[in-house]
Amino acid sequence: MIVYLIGVGPGDPELITLKAARIIPLCDVIVYDDLIPEEVLLLSKPGAQMHYVGKRAGRDYMKQPEINELLVTLARQGLKVARLKGGDPCVFGRGGEEALYLKENSIPFGIIPGISSAIAGPTSAGIPPTHRGLAASLKIVTAHEDPSKESGFLDWNLLAKETGTLVFLMGAGRIGTISEKLIKEGMAARTPCAIVQDATLPTQKHIISTLENIGDDALKNSMGSPCIIIVGQVAGLSRDLYINENKPLKGKTVLITRPYHLAGKTSEIFSAQGAHALMYPLIELNELPFELPDIHKTDIFIFTSQNAVPIFMNKLFSIGLDSRALSSSRVYCIGPKTRDALAGFGIMADGMAGEYRAEGIFEMMKDMALEDKRICIPRAKDARPFLINALRSKGAIVDAIFVYETILPAQANSDDFMAKVEKSDTIIFTSPSGVKNAVFLAGDKLDELRKKKLVAIGPVTADTMNRLDIPASASAKEYTDEGILNLLKGEPS
């Protein structure tokens, strides 16, 4: 048993440390706060227990003593626990309190530092927290303490005399009162200030102002939580150092409906182009029991899904064989993701469809001599029968093996799904099963779906969308994440 107190960084999932990324998949339980990136949660191993204990804007889902006790209870069950916190666990993250409680209860623990938003927030807006000639010191201050209180831990008179940089965390609701208090205690009203909201995320925005105007400017620009307030001469450097990357999808909020094991990679692709990527998996894979064909009597293997590759190969490994067993057979695949999955097992595909669907595979093979050839197709139970029927019409002996089925995730529910839909302007569908489940979850709120830009990965998914009365706004010409990306960027796909 052990509890790891892990800082996962300021928001951008790529800013998590290598150590945190290594430890999280080893843990049996994930106990996580608000604002933890979904991509980080996806690092957890399959079947890990998930406990949300978030706090935000004064609202506690679980009180701190309850969190402390939860960590002890889970650890005493012999479990490895990952306690995930935004930023660094010991910079206003109450990591020290939790560590002391674990020690008092004889629970082994480890602390894994993370990048604090107190550093990353200013930097992401082009504001170095320290700078020669402008700021030789940095003070990180909690803004949870009400400046109007007469007593407290903060010495406002001392803060007002600070010649370096002040960084206030968790202060969205107290921007005006903070500035008033500092001015009252003697800080110059024209001291440069900045507010950074959603630091390091695609939705980040910031404003540069002065101490006397920062409250009004925050209201005018609708600055809200989570935000960082920077006070000091370095704030003015943002005008020269902030790099405004005009990424093509900046301002778009894209909802990704792929299963969890694929959603993270897809999210990275869209986030890298400036989109705010949300995830709500509409399908998950359920592996099915199956028997392998006689490998050495099979002439051709066709993989029509990247998901089928590891399931099939693991079955092969379970009987003491590996990729060499396929060396005397030809192997074909449906597209680049499936080709890459095969390559991961040391199998180089003999051919890949020009069009990434079943029709494309048949087009590639239609002129081959297939009479009495034994063909094995590991596939999803609910996949279309087109390829099987087409190959049999050529005289092939086709063994279609159902290795998995797609099902609605157990945790999926209408309210959560529609909440994600409401936040999105673009929804991406990558399978007919996902479309069917979206319609089921939407229920009588299909009009809310139709208001969004609905994008299909290809014609098969688009046909399902049209048939179920949520017409596709667009369909990618290349049936991949990159094809969808190019479509949204307005480039030829």
Encode pLDDT of 116-174 as tens digits. 999 999 999 999 999 999 999 999 998 776 555 666 678 899 999 989 999 999 888 88
Write phi, then psi, for 396 (nearest 5 degrees): -75, 150
- Tell whether 247 is covered by a domain: no
One domain for residues 85 and 157: no
Do 127 and 44 lie in one domain? The reply is no
Residue 453: predicted pLDDT: 95
Do 312 and 177 share a structural domain?
no
| Chain-centroid distance, C-alpha 406 | 21
Name which of 302, 310, 317, 468 is nearest 383 in CA terms: 302
Residue 207 sits in the same domain as residue 291? no
- Contact between 279 and 38 under an 8 Å Cβ cutoff? The reply is yes
The gap from C-alpha 468 to its chain's centroid, in whole angstroms, comes to 28
- Taking the alpha carbons of 28, 15, 94, 215 in that order, is the dihedral positive or negative? negative
Tokens (6 digits) for 320: 């003491």
In a domain, 95, yes or no: yes
Asked if residue 246 is part of any domain, the answer here is: no
Question: Residue 493: what pLDDT?
Answer: 45
Whole-number Cα distances in Å, 117 to 55, 92, 251, 396: 16, 11, 22, 61
C-alpha closest to that of 306 among 268, 262, 266 = 262
For residue 107, give the 3-state DSSP assignment. Answer: coil
Spatial contact of 456 and 475, defined as CB atoms under 8 Å apart: yes
- The tokens of 319 are what? 């009987």
| CATH code for the domain of 296 | 3.40.50.10090
**Amino acid identity for residue 218 in this structure:** A
Q: Is 87 among the domain residues?
A: yes
Q: What is the CATH number of the domain that holds 107?
A: 3.40.1010.10
Strands 397-407 and 284-287: antiparallel
**Residue 480 sits in which domain range?**
253-283+409-489
- Looking at residue 145, which CATH number applies to its domain? 3.30.950.10
On whether the CB atoms of residues 53 and 30 are closer than 8 A, the answer is no
Residues 330 and 399 in one domain: yes
Q: Which of the residues 12, 85, 170, 373 is marked catalytic?
A: 170
Measured between alpha carbons, how far is 483 from 486 in angstroms, rounded to an integer?
5
Q: Which of 319, 251, 304, 283 is nearest to 429 (CA)?
A: 283
Q: Could you tell me where the beta strands, DSSP code E, fall in 411-491?
A: 426-429, 453-456, 474-475
CA neighbor of 6 nearest in space, from 117, 102, 100, 95: 95
Length of the chain: 493
Q: In sequence order, what are the residues at sequence separation of 6 or more whose Cβ sits closer than 8 angstroms to the Cβ of residue 294? A: none
Q: Which residue intervals of 281-352 are DSSP H helices?
A: 308-318, 336-343
Predicted model pTM: 0.78
Residue 309 shares a structural domain with residue 353: yes
**What does residue 53 show for φ and ψ, rounded to 5 degrees?**
-130, 35
Residue where the block lists tokens 């945790």? 411
Fill in the DSSP letter of residue 77.
T
Selected catalytic residue, list 19, 55, 394, 453: 55
Domain contains 248: no
> End of a domain among 241, 268, 302?
241
CB 466 within 8 A of CB 448: no
Q: How many CA atoms lie within 13 A of 318 on its CB side?
A: 10
Q: Are 275 and 300 within one domain?
A: no
Same domain, residue pair 209 and 350: no
Is residue 310 located within the same domain as residue 419?
no
* Residue 465 known to be catalytic: no
Which structure tokens are listed for 74? 């889970």
Q: How far is CA 191 from CA 69, 164, 468, in A?
A: 45, 11, 59
- Domain membership flag for residue 130: yes
Q: What is the mean pLDDT of each run of 10 residues along the chain (493 residues)?
A: 95 94 96 91 89 72 91 96 96 94 96 96 95 93 69 83 92 88 93 94 92 93 92 94 86 91 87 90 93 93 95 95 93 94 95 91 92 95 91 94 93 92 94 94 93 93 94 90 88 51
End residue of a domain, out of 96, 115, 134:
115
Domain shared by 21 and 34, yes or no: yes
Residue 385 one-letter amino acid: P
What is d(CA 59, CA 83) in angstroms, rounded to the nearest whole number?
Answer: 19
452 is known as an active-site residue: no
Contact by Cβ (8 Å): 201, 168: no
Does 365 participate in catalysis according to the annotation? no
Whether the CA torsion 445, 50, 308, 270 is positive or negative: it is positive
Domain end marker among 115, 141, 157: 115
In the block, which residue shows the tokens 């650890």?
75
Pairing of strands 205-210, 192-197: antiparallel
Please pick, among 33, 88, 198, 481, the residue that the annotation labels catalytic: 33
Q: Which of 252, 301, 305 is nearest to 277 (CA)?
A: 252
DSSP strand E in 57-132: where? 59-60, 80-85, 109-112
Q: Are residues 110 and 201 in the same domain?
A: no
Q: Answer yes or no: do 173 and 310 share one domain.
A: no
pLDDT in tens, 189-241: 999 999 999 999 988 999 999 999 999 999 999 998 899 999 999 999 999 99
In a domain, 463, yes or no: yes
Q: Does residue 22 contact residue 127 with C-beta atoms inside 8 Å?
A: no
How many CA atoms lie within 13 Å of 84's alpha carbon, on the beta-carbon side?
Answer: 35
How many structural domains comprise the chain? 4
